Structure 1
Amino acid sequence: MTPAPEIRLAHPDEFAAVAALRWRWVAEQDGPPDRDQAAFVCDFAAWARAHADTHRCLVAVQDEQVLGMAFLALTPRVPTPHDFSRICGDVQCVYIVPEARDSGLGGLLIDETLRLATEFGLERVTVHSSDRAIPAYLRHGFARSENLLQSEPRIAAERPPS
């Protein structure tokens, strides 16, 4: 019998597996990256260790294999007279290997990410989702917001002045 998947914070020795998932995701979307994969895995794992305080990495593990990941990025907010410890979060880099998709792992990762956000007392959590994943986020507590706007500064800088 296959054991149930475990959703938890990644151990530092799993950051290489997380990096391999990130590589696989980019290759699926954009084709093979033109960078050495082993170097990327090493650099990504170092980045994840260096940013562990601001980017909490969660993994979906089954049979000792990392099948999915999600990051909760933590951002301090400007204090108010009532609260000097305001923090918001952003869900980033949620990925499940294709052979494990539609099994509920993504939803488990979303739920655990939101549980962690609650543990940190975050004011709000945002996500920039792919079209395919929007229904999953909506099922797991996210809602559309008319007040959340975004700008892409690199694209805006390329536009001629109006």
Structure 2
Amino acid sequence: MNLRQDEVVDDIACRPVQPHELPAVAELRWRWVEELYGTPDTTLDEFVPRFVAWARQTDSSHRCMVMVRDNVVIGIAWLAIMQRVPHPRAFERMSGDVQCTYVVPDERDRGLGGELIEAVLAWARDLGLERVTVHSSDRAVSAYSRHGFKVCPRLLQAEVGQGRAG
């Protein structure tokens, strides 16, 4: 089942989020945090409007792919897009980072997360991004690996924040 953007298979569509779906996306993000870390400090009712406002303000740098069945959002994946420093051979350079990929528990282990990953990678190719990175959960490493992500010894990170938000 290789879904591409806007393709529908088995009544499931994988496509860029529509503005009216942002509250459902916010709820899935809240549920993801609750599932991994326990009840968030912010209530769902407090989080949703703040998240929707954030998503609208950052839509040029953070784009959301949704997986929808019968008008219900069942999965999300974000593509954060950033400009890179110009190079003499390529002045316009962009990279991406896959963030917050989540499929509702009842829909897992059927390859839908992989379909979201493929859709985000296709989107990145369409946007002309040079590379796409991901900071994966342990559970999802194999899914990202199956879709072309590789460990890169040159990609390093330093934890500089006070807390781990996920």
Corresponding position of 1:125: 132
Asked whether 1:79 is paired with 2:81, we answer no
Cα deviation, residue 42, structure 1: 0.6
Alignment of structure 1 residues 1-162 onto 2, 5 Å: 3-154=10-161
Q: Secondary structure at the match of 1:153?
A: coil
Displacement of 1:34: 2.1
Identity score, percent = 53
- Aligned partners of 1:3 and 1:63 also within 8 Å: no
Aligned length: 154
2:40 partner amino acid: P
**Unmatched 5+ residue regions in structure 1?**
156-162
Large movers: runs of 4+ above 6 Å:
none
Question: What is the letter of the counterpart of residue 54 of structure 1?
Answer: S
Q: Deviations over 1:44-79 (max 9, x none)?
A: 011111111100100000111100000000000000
- CA distance in 2 between counterparts of 1:154 and 1:104 reads 33
What is the alpha-carbon distance in structure 1 between the residues aligned to residue 133 and residue 14 of structure 2?
20
Aligned alpha-carbon RMSD (Å): 1.2
Distance (Å, rounded) in 2 between the aligned partners of 1:12 and 1:154: 31
- TM-score w.r.t. length of structure 1: 0.92
- Tell which structure's C-alpha radius of gyration is larger: 1
Q: CA deviation at 1:154?
A: 3.2
Tell me the distance in 2 between the aligned counterparts of 1:91 and 1:3: 25
